[in-house]
């Protein structure tokens, strides 16, 4: 009986090397070893990228098992696979393939095809070019070459050190034989900001226990997002020792380090991953699987210090002093912990995103609001509020980029947009 399943395995690239915990694909013929090696070579990529790549290969293997005898070439098989992803396998209530796939969005089809092509290119480098190619290169049309050059220069113009890049014309002379469906360019990025007139109510009355005791840790996390512009996941990478206090103003000075490569707080270790492994038997939190309670993502913000960190910029600046006062209360009641992380739960273990999200939902409900992305009452809405507040106070786009730690000056534009209702209100007020 044929099957395709995913399991996590311990993988050693060679004898004597450390063991790594990786997801792997198994079929009735055993482990798909080439794909496991492919994932190992791309282990620096995010867990979400790895999970998506595995999913794409799983889908292709299931499709091949059902359809492989129907096509004369590997390329034709891949073309049919892409069409099946786009339109699904159910027609008139019937599914002769037995896959029972529904249609997928064009953007999703393109992402899955990209993962398949990337893996197949890896196989070409390992096995040479004698095997049949799934998605070979072909001579690009003149229009395709122009589009690829435009895409290159658009990326290059928004990249640091772009003056060091000298592109070759050859890569733009070819295109893939199998391409995904046309992407839809629609501006649907809505703006969801936490209501400014309710933030103090949330901090003072939302985060309290059943006994009425304040939840200082959650209050601090909200302050870091709402007045410091941090992503929720970035809060969970902060160590207690990453915070110092300005002796003159009393303001909190907070550095957010790269989870693995940032400078270790202990001089005996060079990097944070070494520090965590040797002293606490922990991994950097972005290296756990997404299902692990300790997982916290890392979106690659712009690092501005040589120790591979960036500094939190509170706005208004007075909030940095308020943060210090609240921090003192939190540290005086913080449970004993076996980790260096600032935020821990009641048992002293590092706080999890899932647990905080539940606390945030309850806090929002406690002040009479509904937890909803469309209402701006989810944790990420605080970062949107921060960026919009800066734009309303006259800060330039480049200043907002630096405050929000984006690599591209255009990344912060979504945080600065007015809502549709705000634009309509402007129209009404124009005489």
pLDDT category at 205 given cuts 50, 70, 90 is very high
State mean pLDDT over 58-78. 78
The Cα–Cα gap between 352 and 217 comes to 12
User: What's the pLDDT at 21?
Assistant: 83
Task: Output the pLDDT for position 129.
Answer: 54
- Please, what sign has the CA dihedral across residues 399, 402, 408, 413? negative
| Percent of the chain predicted with pLDDT > 70 | 84
Q: Would you list the domain boundaries of the chain?
A: 4-137, 196-422
Q: How confident is the model at residue 419 (pLDDT cuts 50, 70, 90)?
A: confident
CA distance 161 to 356: 38
Mean pLDDT, residues 195-214 taken together: 91
Q: What is the pLDDT of residue 295?
A: 94
**Mean pLDDT across the chain:** 85
* Predicted local confidence at residue 413, as pLDDT: 83
pLDDT of amino acid 342 = 98
CA dihedral (126, 128, 130, 131) positive or negative: positive
CB contact at 8 A, 312 and 254? yes
List the single range of 16-25, 170-179, 192-201, 282-291 with lowest mean pLDDT.
170-179
Query: Among 14-28, 115-129, 297-311, 347-361, which stretch is predicted with the lowest mean pLDDT?
Result: 115-129
Average pLDDT of span 215-223: 97
Check pLDDT > 50 for residue 276: yes
Q: How confident is the model at residue 147 (pLDDT cuts 50, 70, 90)?
A: very low
Please compute the mean of the pLDDT values over residues 37-62 and round it to a whole number: 89
Average pLDDT for 126-151: 52
| Beta partners for residue 30, in sequence order | 27
Do 171 and 360 touch, CB atoms closer than 8 A? no
pLDDT at residue number 247? 95
Q: Output helix, strand, coil percentages for the chain, rounded to the nearest 5.
A: 45, 10, 45
Question: What is the spatial distance between Cα 413 and Cα 403, in angstroms, rounded to a whole number?
Answer: 13
| N residues, the chain | 431
Q: What's the average model confidence in pLDDT over 12-40? A: 85
Quickly name the fold that domain 196-422 has.
hpI Integrase; Chain A (1.10.443)
Q: Which two tokens stand for residue 56?
A: 């794409």
Question: Predicted confidence band at 173 (pLDDT cuts at 50, 70, 90)?
Answer: low
Mean pLDDT, residues 152-161 taken together: 45
pLDDT of residue 66: 80
Averaged pLDDT for residues 54-76:
81
What average pLDDT score do residues 258-279 get? 96
Q: What is the mean pLDDT of residues 304-320?
A: 97
Of 392, 357, 41, 29, nearest to 207 by C-alpha is: 357
pLDDT of residue 144 exceeding 70, the answer is no
pLDDT at 146: 45
Name the residue among 384, 343, 146 with its Cα closest to residue 235: 343
The more confident residue out of 153 and 268 is: 268
Helix (H, G, I), strand (E, B) or coil at 122: helix
């Amino acid at each position: 009986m044929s099957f395709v399943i995913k399991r996590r395995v311990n993988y050693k690239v060679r004898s004597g090397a450390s063991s790594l915990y990786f997801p792997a694909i198994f079929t009735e013929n055993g482990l798909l070893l080439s794909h496991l090696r492919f994932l190992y070579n791309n282990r620096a990529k995010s867990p979400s990228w790895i999970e998506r790549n595995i999913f794409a290969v799983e889908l292709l293997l299931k499709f091949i098992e059902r359809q492989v005898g129907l096509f004369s070439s590997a390329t034709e098989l891949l073309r049919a696979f892409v069409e099946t992803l786009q339109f699904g396998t159910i027609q008139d209530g019937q599914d002769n393939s037995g896959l029972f796939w529904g249609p997928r969005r064009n953007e999703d089809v393109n992402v899955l095809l990209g993962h398949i092509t990337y893996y197949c290119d890896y196989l070409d480098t390992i096995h040479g070019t004698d095997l049949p190619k799934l998605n070979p290169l072909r001579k690009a049309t003149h229009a395709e070459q122009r589009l690829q050059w435009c895409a290159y220069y658009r990326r290059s113009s928004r990249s640091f050190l772009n003056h060091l890049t000298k592109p070759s014309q050859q890569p733009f002379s070819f295109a893939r034989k199998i391409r995904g469906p046309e992407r839809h360019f629609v501006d649907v990025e809505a703006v969801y900001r936490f209501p400014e007139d309710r933030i103090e109510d949330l901090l003072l009355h939302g985060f309290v226990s059943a006994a009425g005791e304040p939840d200082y840790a959650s209050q601090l996390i909200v302050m870091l997002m709402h007045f410091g512009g941090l992503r929720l996941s970035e809060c969970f990478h902060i160590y207690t020792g990453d915070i110092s206090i300005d002796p003159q103003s009393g303001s909190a000075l907070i550095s957010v380090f790269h989870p693995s490569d940032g400078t270790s707080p202990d001089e005996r270790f060079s990097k944070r991953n070494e520090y965590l492994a040797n002293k606490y038997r922990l991994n950097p939190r972005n290296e756990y699987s997404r299902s692990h309670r300790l997982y916290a993502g890392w979106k690659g913000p712009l690092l501005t210090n040589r120790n591979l960190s960036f500094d939190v910029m509170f706005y208004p600046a007075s909030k940095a002093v308020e943060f210090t006062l609240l921090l003192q209360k939190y540290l005086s009641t913080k449970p004993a912990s076996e980790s260096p992380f600032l935020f821990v739960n009641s048992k002293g273990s590092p706080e999890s995103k899932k647990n905080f999200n539940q606390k945030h939902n309850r806090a929002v409900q406690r002040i009479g609001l509904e937890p909803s992305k469309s209402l701006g009452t989810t944790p990420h809405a605080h970062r949107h509020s921060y960026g919009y507040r800066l734009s309303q106070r006259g800060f330039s786009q480049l200043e907002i980029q630096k405050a929000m730690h984006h690599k591209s000056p255009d990344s912060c534009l979504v945080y600065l947009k007015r809502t549709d209702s705000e634009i309509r209100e402007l129209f009404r007020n124009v005489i």
